[in-house]
Amino acid sequence: MELMEKLTILADSAKYDASCSSSGSTGVGKGTIGNTSFSGICHSFASDGRCISLLKILMTNCCIYDCKYCLNRRSNDVKRALFTPEEVAEITLNFYRRNYIEGLFLSSGIIKSPDYTMNLLIETLELLRHKYHFGGYIHVKAIPGASESLLKRLGGLADRMSANIELPTEGGLKLLAPNKESQNVTKIMQYVKDNRSRKYVPAGQSTQMIVGATNESDWDILNRSANMYDNYKLKRVFYSAYIPVNQDKLLPSIKVPPLKRENRLYQADWLMRYYHFNVREILNPDRPNFNLLIDPKAEWALRNLHEFPKEINTCSYRELLRIPGIGVTSAKRIMAARKKFTLQMSDLKKMGVVLKRAKYFITCDHKYFTDMMHFTSHFIEQNLILEDTVTFEEKREQLSLF
């Protein structure tokens, strides 16, 4: 099989993995070719708008498992390919020199056995790191069920090593991925967490969950994420809107992937990681799903309107972070600036604070942006939804001009 055909098959199979980040590493090996950038670098953007920073491929799409949602399940009649370690190294290095990529993302179907597959991955990474002295970023997927000694070797060669949980609940996994056990995935996470160092998986680990393939609620998913952040010190949980690639009576019959739901999950994920929100403040078993019209932070604020409006000049940093429309950068700028002078609305604008959402929830020097009689959840909610739709309409008009 020609290299071109292999690359096509094995990139096509890898594309559903959402992870593309190349940040947060101080570098495992000080190679002679390449380095890592702490902030990460996006090299291109695909037709779906997702960043391309790594050469994202599978080692092979042969697989002994038969997961219902997966293109490469055993029972599917698709063309199979297997890279040699030398081929992966060659493409990676040549793409890297030309600055197409920041490094390699290597995952794999399970060929013969987990250990056998792991050895293939190790061989490839050793070739890159030791023979070619490649110092760029490598994100490798560990194979669930592989032995610990192999986890140890593989992690020592990669900037990031991770394993995908795929489905948020045990029930979902049993239904759609009968050969997989979530225990095997969490074992990898535990191992990486316990052994992480400057020389072992310095950029930490991440995982991915498919959204919408089973009937879990948003609460199930988010709660699972919260647990994993707490228990395994994950850097990221990626959410991947389910895209039907197989016909199966166990799978939902949808045509359009639930992208808005995925978007809400990411927003909520950010609230947990950077905005000190507890998962129960965002969702709970009684209110298990997101409002698709309003983002989770604004929704929370509307439910807790008695805590607002916040006076920008006196409220605490944590309170600032909870104001819809105010992000980490804005909050820090406000904290620093208000020590020097009293902030007015116009100052916020100059500081780059976006007021579109924030203005409903704040006062500046005790002044509200409009008459305080409008400070009702009804008025605010309507305007928030309206502004989103207006922008959407405007955008659509702009688009139709071309």
Q: Which is nearer to another protein, 230 or 393 (CB)?
A: 393
Buried b (16+ CB within 10 A) or exposed e, 342-369: ebebebbeeeebeeebbbbbbbbeeebe
DSSP secondary structure letters along 3-52: HHHHHHHHHHTTTT-------S---SS--SB----TT----EE-TTS-EE
Tokens 């203005």, residue? 359
SS3 349: helix
- 43 counts as binding another protein under rule CB under 8 A: yes
Q: Which is nearer to another protein, 8 or 382 (CB)?
A: 8
Q: Which is nearer to another protein, 310 or 333 (CB)?
A: 333
CA–CA distance, 129 with 136 (Å, rounded to integer): 9
CA–CA distance, 53 with 40 (Å, rounded to integer): 8
CA–CA distance, 58 with 141 (Å, rounded to integer): 10
- 215 counts as binding another protein under rule CB under 8 A: no
- Please report how close the Cβ of residue 221 comes to another protein at its closest, in angstroms: 19
Among 100, 116, 274, 392, which residue interacts with another protein (rule: CB under 8 A)? 100
117 near 143, Cβ under 8 Å? yes
- 257 counts as binding another protein under rule CB under 8 A: yes
Among 378, 399, 400, 401, which residue interacts with another protein (rule: CB under 8 A)? 399
Among 79, 86, 97, 379, which residue interacts with another protein (rule: CB under 8 A)? 97
Q: Which is nearer to another protein, 256 or 373 (CB)?
A: 256
Residue 119: closest CA among 154, 84, 160, 88: 154
DSSP secondary structure letters along 269-290: HHHHHHS---HHHH-BTTB-S-
The window from 97-105, 107-115, 141-149, 292-300 that contacts another protein (CB under 8 A) reads 97-105
Q: Please list every residue from 8 through 37 that binds another protein, using CB under 8 A.
A: 8, 11-12, 14-16, 32-35, 37
Q: Which is nearer to another protein, 27 or 145 (CB)?
A: 27
What does the binding site for another protein look like in residue numbers (CB under 8 A)? 3-4, 7-8, 11-12, 14-16, 32-35, 37, 39, 41-53, 55-56, 91, 94-95, 97-100, 102, 241, 243, 256-257, 259, 333, 336-337, 339-341, 347, 350-352, 395, 399
